[in-house]
Amino acid sequence: MMVEISPSILSADFARLADDVAIIADVADWVHIDVMDNHFVPNLTIGLPVVEALLKHSALPLDCHLMIEDPDRWAPRYAEVGAGGVTIHAEAAKAPIRTLREIRSAGARAGLAINPATPVEPYEDLLGEIDMLLLMTVEPGFGGQRFLDVVLPKVRRARELIKGRDLSVRLQVDGGVGAETIERCAEAGADVFVAGNAVYGADDPAEAVRALRADAER
Ligand code: DX5
Ligand code: ZN
């Protein structure tokens, strides 16, 4: 399984986003963008205009994680402007199948995210509609939180469900992923790793990405 690393700019310098994206451009696979609306989560970050601006400065595809209340309305827009991937939360989407199909038909990777306490089984039949399943390993809203080990059995079950259906759905983990936790995530079946603090909190973010990849491939 090819490992993908998606550094989260939530831990970057918001006043120097283009520079902070450039420093990981040669070593990462995606740039993870945490869109928060202060309703679905208690934090407010960036939205469509900043994503559009960043697209012009990023050599890597943008992996947009929408932590917003009305993803059905907004997700297709992110795909249309050129995001490489758009992930919506199952807890927020009112018409997830329609929205996921719209993301795909706009040419982006369609992702479905679930919070730590949301079971994966109710979404089993949606696996054929998505390119990536995102399992949150912290409660969404903030970077730098502690990894929730309690999610690991769900990572394992999700990988089994994907295998059982012979699908090529990517399995992403997001939250508290770093040197101490990435191997356990990989061993449980994750193959796309978001890391904010572990990358942008490091003295050398590019080296941190290389080290994470090596750990995940172990
Ligand atoms: C949390 C965000 C994450 C966050 C991860 O709500 O979805 O992408 O940036 O940050 P770390 O890796 O610092 O936990
Ligand atoms: Zn995220």
**149: domain CATH number?**
3.20.20.70
- Name the residue of 33, 194, 200, 209 to mutate for ligand 1: max ligand atoms within 8 A of Cβ: 194
Which residue in 20, 34, 63, 191 is the catalytic one? Answer: 34
Find out whether the beta carbon of 11 lies less than 6 Å from any atom of ligand 1. Answer: yes
pLDDT on residue 155: 98
Q: What is the whole-number distance in angstroms between the Cα of residue 87 and the centre of ligand 2?
A: 9
Tokens of 143: 């970077």
Residue 81 is predicted with a pLDDT of 98
Q: What is the pLDDT of residue 74?
A: 98
Domain that holds residue 66: 4-217
Question: What angle in degrees, to the nearest 10, is found between the helix axes of 96-105 and 71-81?
Answer: 10
Question: Which residues lie near ion ligand 2 (Cβ < 5 Å)?
Answer: 34, 65, 174
Q: Is 129 in the pocket of ligand 1 (CB under 6 A)?
A: no
CA angle 173-181-40, nearest 5°?
A: 35
Report the C-alpha gap between 133 and 169 in whole angstroms: 7
Number of domains making up the chain: 1
Q: Is the CB of 177 under 6 A from ligand 1?
A: yes
User: Is-catalytic flag, 34?
Assistant: yes
Known active-site residue 203: no
In this structure, which residue's CA is closest to atom 4 in ligand 1? 143
Ligand 1 pocket, residue 197 CB under 6 Å: yes
pLDDT value of residue 23: 98
Backbone dihedral angles phi then psi of residue 20, each to the nearest 5 degrees: -70, -30
> Pairing between strand 85-89 and 170-174?
unpaired
Instruction: Please give the pLDDT value at position 167.
Output: 97
Task: Write the ipTM.
Answer: 0.99
With a 6 Å cutoff on the Cβ, whether 63 touches ligand 1 is no
How far apart are the CA of 116 and the centre of ligand 2, in A?
13
Ligand 2 centroid, distance to 1 Cα (angstroms): 22
DSSP E strand stretches across the chain = 4-7, 31-36, 62-67, 85-89, 109-114, 132-136, 170-174, 192-195
* Ligand number, closest to the Cα atom of 199: 1
- Structure token pair of residue 218: 């172990």
Q: Tell me, what's the pLDDT at 39?
A: 98
- For residue 195, the CA-to-ligand 1 centroid distance in Å is 7
Q: Residue 47 and residue 35: Cα distance in Å, rounded? A: 6
Question: Distances from the Cα of 178 to the Cαs of 7, 48, 50, 74, 167, in angstroms?
Answer: 11, 28, 26, 30, 27
Q: State residue 73's pLDDT score.
A: 98
Average pLDDT along the chain, 218 residues, taken 10 residues at a time: 95 98 98 98 98 98 98 98 98 98 98 98 98 99 98 98 97 98 98 98 98 97
Question: Beta strands 192-195 and 170-174: pairing type?
Answer: parallel
Helices (H), 57-106: 71-81, 96-105
